[in-house]
Structure 1
């Protein structure tokens, strides 16, 4: 690096923290960036002149409107794009004069040159701005992703938390950086955590397959206010423009693309021992089958009249829910195990914020990832006698349960895959993934939580949501919201409940992140059953009498009909 001091416009330099552009400061920041792990990033403790930033904060809180935005991946209060400030009427822009000044300083040629020099990323666009204000308050979060969209080159965050009261790490809201197991696959847990502080600036280069990060849930009462955005590679007509940039064949797919791409689910099902599913003779609910099911299920759901009513409803609605599904003895055994584990891990009515990463890991419970798609714990025990989760998994895989499902849905599954899962407060979730199988799949999920009334409104997460397919013309930077765009079906986490949902091709599904303020873990036995290919006759019949999820619906709950 040259020993010459970077030449700056005096007016621009006065906006930033005194000494920021001095040679020693630049050298220290550049070295910090080069040596950083798990990928290239740096933290600048003081970026702007304090008085300017205080004026900016006051303008934001006084004059700007925040909209709550919530999808599978985030919950945050956000303003519109600050690139649009130029188009405001004069009297409105005067109310945001300091914010306008700050925005122009960030995208000035002088500061872009500073960013390029520190990061070594090459020229940056002076025409493409991408900047918004985010307010993370209690319960807000942003899950794991890599920021790889379009022409983004450098991501940045400028924090505007309370300038007079330091933000404490226990309040949450830290920026978490994840190493990768291999390119495109982040580890399940972060190795760097950066709590927010007033006037702190964090940036990292957007690195396909590497720049995975998240924002920890805010659990305190403070406002994690920040200005964030991206510097982009030069656009057409700008110095440094490369028409081939972003077209390299070896560039990793973004985390969003990976979620949306087709998966070869065929390889992941365990097949039932049947030679020819199309010609299989269905035994039905014999006495032996009912006896086997009565060992663990509520006998109410073995009543043939109830089964008939459930089947009729399912064929009309594509989904049903069974309340109080397990027998009393089985449920008591399960509750004893779940409450004991939550108490052991300080997750039962935890009042102290977010427990550390790695909480709950044992030889029988391991973390499942990768976190840009999902994170939860799965039960690995094979001891069906002593482990209630292993026992219930065996029941969901049994031939008797397969026949019971057939009596409800009138389709005999030909294979299955599933897990016993634990969603820990403050850590776990699944992001929306799409069913690519043309014949649809049968989702069967048994869920149980403690204090179910607290989960009902969905505010603490843990709900299961089915959504319509993305429009092919949608902005690829957008994760579809489970709100006005139409959740097809939303099932709050409940106590001792089984849901059966027939999911058509293209329908997306996710489990919303479980908030740290929930009274305990969300537990489930989650199975997906593979269905036989639809014959021509069945496809014609489906047009006349649709069975698969295709529009918003209300699930019918059963117990005492």
Structure 2
């Protein structure tokens, strides 16, 4: 477990001048950025757009002239890009290209093709074309434009930009026996429980490695990996049995002793996040109305090189808790998480590890997109306990 530090900068490429045929980019205009006749297909595309499923959309192929795109590609190598990652994207992004000044001699000399492309995309002709194809209301000429570079593992997921439019009796011997059949005995000791409680109170989160008894963890891991190979859900039945344990009265009572909280209700589910397919997004619906204790038991491929991939964060699959703010009711850009930020926590998946996180009413959570490069699925049993007063 570690605090998420996901923002860094890179120069992308050197500032050396890229060789071009003299005057080729400078000769570009907004009109010459489009392929001949490209904007004359609006009516045809509007019919395709309306008939498309599962939602209206159109694929605009070869709408821009190839020479213009090649010239822009060369110029973009001179711009500095910043690494940005949220629940829905992982990219290197340039600054706002709206800030380029065509009247500035330095800008116009270094980036003439980029300025011409920007003018083309915000021109009255292209805005009218988009309106005809989609049937959307009139578009303004206000510019908001940047370039994204996608390195290996980079992605942009389907999303909505607007986020805003979440006194106990001692365990009886019979209850301890019930838990001991599943949970590693170390976590039923008073000294261990006191240490976990202390960490929860001071840091708000704790990760309990080797949480289940080894034989049960091995069976679950084997079932999960076998299901990955078959692309089925055969491990679900065994994980469902663990979900029932995590929803049981003895487990809730053990959590109360461990955390110092008083769980009042529980919602638990078995989940599988497949490589190249699955993720969840942060939104106000993940916030809670009372303090909540999240308990998540994870299983992933666990050979040394596979563990390293999960721990690196590069293949995704980690659970992230982010602090909501008033700005989250507007457009989402990037979570304000850098090396000095608080309130952003990332927990990478490990096999047979139970993570505990105290979540306040101002916290959202998500599972980062599992990259196609991941060594397998992320399986988990995720339980949330709405809590009362601290003991």
Match in the other structure for 1:168 = none
2:295 pairs with 1:444:
yes
Is the contact made by 1:470 and 1:480 (CA closer than 8 Å) also made in structure 2?
no
Is the contact made by 1:416 and 1:529 (CA closer than 8 Å) also made in structure 2?
yes
2:355 pairs with 1:499:
yes
Change (3 A) 1:486 1:313: closer
CA distance in 1, matches of 2:43, 2:326: 47
Match in the other structure for 1:246 = none
Change (3 A) 1:97 1:313: closer
2:171 pairs with 1:282:
no
Q: What per-residue deviation string (whole Å, max 9, x for no partner) do you get for residues 247-270 of structure 1?
A: xxxxxxx5x224xxxx6xxxxxxx
Match in the other structure for 1:73 = 88
Match in the other structure for 1:427 = 277
Change (3 A) 1:424 1:132: same
2:146 pairs with 1:132:
yes
Following TM superposition, by how much is the alpha carbon of 1:318 offset from its aligned partner in structure 2, in angstroms?
A: 3.0
Q: Pick the aligned partner of 1:145 from 134, 141, 159.
A: 159
Match in the other structure for 1:180 = none
Match in the other structure for 2:117 = 102
Q: Pick the aligned partner of 2:316 from 461, 486, 491.
A: 461
Change (3 A) 1:73 1:85: same
Change (3 A) 1:333 1:117: closer
CA distance in 1, matches of 2:93, 2:242: 43
2:391 pairs with 1:391:
no
2:384 pairs with 1:528:
yes
Is the contact made by 1:72 and 1:481 (CA closer than 8 Å) also made in structure 2?
no
CA distance in 2, matches of 1:49, 1:394: 60
3-state secondary structure, aligned to 1:446: strand
1:82-97 matches, within 5 Å, as 82-86=97-101, 89-97=104-112
Q: TM-score, normalised by structure 1?
A: 0.59
Q: Which is further off, 400-409 or 11-20?
A: 11-20
User: If each structure's helix is expressed as a fraction of its own residues, which one has the higher value?
Assistant: 2
1:49-448 matches, within 5 Å, as 49-61=65-77, 63-86=78-101, 89-126=104-141, 128-147=142-161, 256-258=163-165, 282-345=168-231, 360=232, 379=236, 387-434=237-284, 436-437=287-288, 439-448=290-299
Match in the other structure for 1:555 = none
Q: Which runs of 5+ in 2 are unaligned?
A: 1-27
Match in the other structure for 1:20 = 38
Paired residues, what number? 358
3-state secondary structure, aligned to 1:429: coil
Q: What per-residue deviation string (whole Å, max 9, x for no partner) do you get for residues 420-450 of structure 1?
A: 1111111111212456545401111111211
Change (3 A) 1:391 1:91: same
Is the contact made by 2:321 and 2:345 (CA closer than 8 Å) also made in structure 1?
yes
Is the contact made by 1:73 and 1:479 (CA closer than 8 Å) also made in structure 2?
no
Match in the other structure for 1:249 = none
CA distance in 2, matches of 1:26, 1:520: 44
3-state secondary structure, aligned to 1:420: strand
Q: Identify which of structures 1 and 2 has the higher relative contact order when contacts are C-alpha pairs closer than 8 Å and 6+ apart.
A: 2
User: If each structure's strand is expressed as a fraction of its own residues, which one has the higher value?
Assistant: 1
Q: What per-residue deviation string (whole Å, max 9, x for no partner) do you get for residues 293-341 of structure 1?
A: 1111111112233223333443333332211111012112112211110
Aligned-pair RMSD on alpha carbons?
A: 2.7
Is the contact made by 1:71 and 1:481 (CA closer than 8 Å) also made in structure 2?
no
CA distance in 1, matches of 2:203, 2:128: 59
Change (3 A) 1:11 1:437: closer
CA distance in 1, matches of 2:193, 2:318: 26
Is the contact made by 1:441 and 1:529 (CA closer than 8 Å) also made in structure 2?
yes
Match in the other structure for 1:508 = 364
Q: Which is further off, 311-320 or 445-454?
A: 311-320
Is the contact made by 1:298 and 1:325 (CA closer than 8 Å) also made in structure 2?
yes
CA distance in 2, matches of 1:488, 1:294: 34
Is the contact made by 1:112 and 1:124 (CA closer than 8 Å) also made in structure 2?
yes
Q: What per-residue deviation string (whole Å, max 9, x for no partner) do you get for residues 122-151 of structure 1?
A: 53323x12222111221111222145xxxx
Is the contact made by 2:207 and 2:354 (CA closer than 8 Å) also made in structure 1?
yes
CA distance in 1, matches of 2:328, 2:309: 38
Q: Which runs of 5+ in 1 are unaligned?
A: 1-9, 148-253, 264-280, 346-359, 366-378, 380-386, 542-561
Deviation above 6 Å: which 4+ runs of structure 1?
none
CA distance in 2, matches of 1:425, 1:445: 19
CA distance in 1, matches of 2:223, 2:103: 59
Q: TM-score, normalised by structure 2?
A: 0.83
